[in-house]
Amino acid sequence: MHDLAALPTSDTTHTLNAMNRFLRLTLLCLGLLALGTTTPIASARLYSIDGMVGQVNGRAIYTNAVLDEPMRETLARWGRELPRDTFRQRAAERISVRLNGMVTDALVYGEAKRDLSDGERQGLVAAESNYREQLLREHGQGSPALAEANLIEQTGLNLDQTIEQWRQAAVVSRYMRQKLTPKVNVTRRDIKRYYQENYDKFNAPLQRTIRVIQTLSPEDAEYVRSVLDEGADFAEIAEDTRNQFRADRGGLMGVMAGDQLFADSSVNEATLALNAGECVGPIEVDGKSWFVCVEDIQQPKGVSLMDAQTQIQSILYDQQLREHSERYRQHLFEVGSYNSIEQMTLTLLEIATDRYAVTER
């Protein structure tokens, strides 16, 4: 029972946080668990009974388990601030998300428990006993009452809820490591293909410093062409009043990245063909004459495939795990036993409306 027993014992909060980080990687951020930390499934000994609204795998879901304290605070605030119809719309959305998470949690946990071997079940009981002793020692100096009070103050969970959270995290993380994680296989070819398909993400395009002269009359265009042919400085000529494009800035267009520099294709293609220090013009477009100079070209330093492979591997790992997790989630909802989430949402919405929504606004 190595997976369930070998847990850090020096600090309870650190232990829970470390386990939750693993779950967030394999479940939460992939849509398998509800937002927040792993929530213990409602039971009569964990929550005050305030009406059963449904069940999942034979375990009751109680009103107060769904409408927990943070949810109640939010609903109460919405009830004070929002019109009744808006309240019902937002409350229904929030309740539905919460229920989907709780049902999924329960289905995953039920599947994970059934997968335990007899030896692992025995190891879980022993590890749970050790964890309880750790909680009593660290939070209550051996006193269950003191540990309970301190845990509620520090985490919002009582002693039983804290142990239930630990149990679910241990069982589910063991299941996910053994069942889903081995299905993920990121190959070198996958990494190379992702890099090639997303080359621009890792390698910024060329950057060109561009100046422009734009004239309106043939006479002005001929003047600009002649003085440039004689070797005049483009930036100085661009300050002339004949220039209709930012003459006050010497025609400076700025540093432009990529290959789409101008809307007109003829000007754009001519500019792309220039090396640093080269100019082109006149180019006639809609009665205007364009002169373009590329002062400088820079290639920003990119990220090589070798340097990017760790990042890419992580991205592809998460993508594959998300795909496997979604298929697993769909399977659980197909074979699991639970009341209609839509019906439970409607029941809880009526309760929330009666409790928190104003009658008229």
For 59-75, how does the pLDDT look when each residue is reduced to its tens digit (9 = 90+)? 888 888 888 888 888 99
What pLDDT score does 167 carry? 87
Instruction: Tell me the pLDDT tens digit for each residue of 67-114.
Output: 888 888 899 999 999 999 999 999 999 999 989 888 888 888 888 888
- Looking at domain 204-298, its CATH class is alpha beta
Give the whole-angstrom CA distance, residue 344 versus residue 334. 18
Structure tokens at 70: 């943070």
Half-sphere CA count of 132, side-chain side, radius 13 A: 15
Q: Which of 13-27, 29-43, 167-181, 331-345 has the lowest mean pLDDT?
A: 29-43
Give the global pTM: 0.53
Instruction: Tell me the pLDDT tens digit for each residue of 270-315.
Output: 999 999 999 998 999 989 999 999 999 998 888 999 999 999 999 9
Answer whether 247's CB lies under 8 Å from 240's CB: yes
Q: Which of the four pLDDT bands, split at 50, 70 and 90, describes residue 27?
A: very low
Q: Which helix (H) or strand (E) holds 164?
A: helix 159-179
Residue ranges of the chain assigned to CATH 1.10.4030: 2-187+313-356
CB atoms within 10 A of CB 254: 11
C-alpha separations of 297 from 252, 300, 315 in Å: 14, 10, 32
Indicate left, alpha or beta for 60 from its phi (over 0: left) and psi (-120 to 50: alpha): beta
What is the bridge-based pairing of β-strands 59-62 and 288-298?
A: unpaired
User: Is the pLDDT confidence value at 258 over 60?
Assistant: yes
CATH topology of domain 2-187+313-356: Triger factor/SurA peptide-binding fold (1.10.4030)
The residue ranges of DSSP E strands in 9-163, in sequence order, are: 52-56, 59-62
Instruction: Tell me the pLDDT tens digit for each residue of 307-355.
Output: 999 999 999 999 998 898 888 888 888 888 888 999 999 999 999 999 9
User: Is the pLDDT confidence value at 5 over 90?
Assistant: no
What pLDDT score does 19 carry? 45
Mean pLDDT, the chain, as a whole number? Answer: 83
Residue ranges of the chain assigned to CATH 3.10.50.40: 204-298
Q: What is the 3-state secondary structure (H, E, C) of the chain?
A: CHHHHCCCCCCHHHHHHHHHHHHHHHCHHHCCCCCCCCCCCCCCCCCCCCCEEEEECCEEEEHHHHCCHHHHHHHHHHHHHCCHHHHHHHHHHHHHHHHHHHHHHHHHHHHHHHCCCHHHHHHHHHHHHHHHHHHHHHHHCCCHHHHHHHHHHHHCCCHHHHHHHHHHHHHHHHHHHHHCHHHCCCCHHHHHHHHHHCHHHHCCCCEEEEEEEEECCHHHHHHHHHHHHCCCCHHHHCCCCCCCCCHHHCCEEEEEECCCCCCCHHHHHHHHCCCCCCEEEEEEECCEEEEEEEEEEECCCCCCHHHHHHHHHHHHHHHHHHHHHHHHHHHHHHHCCECCHHHHHHHHHHHHHHHHCCCCC
What percentage of the chain's residues is helix, strand, coil (to nearest 5)?
Answer: 60, 10, 30
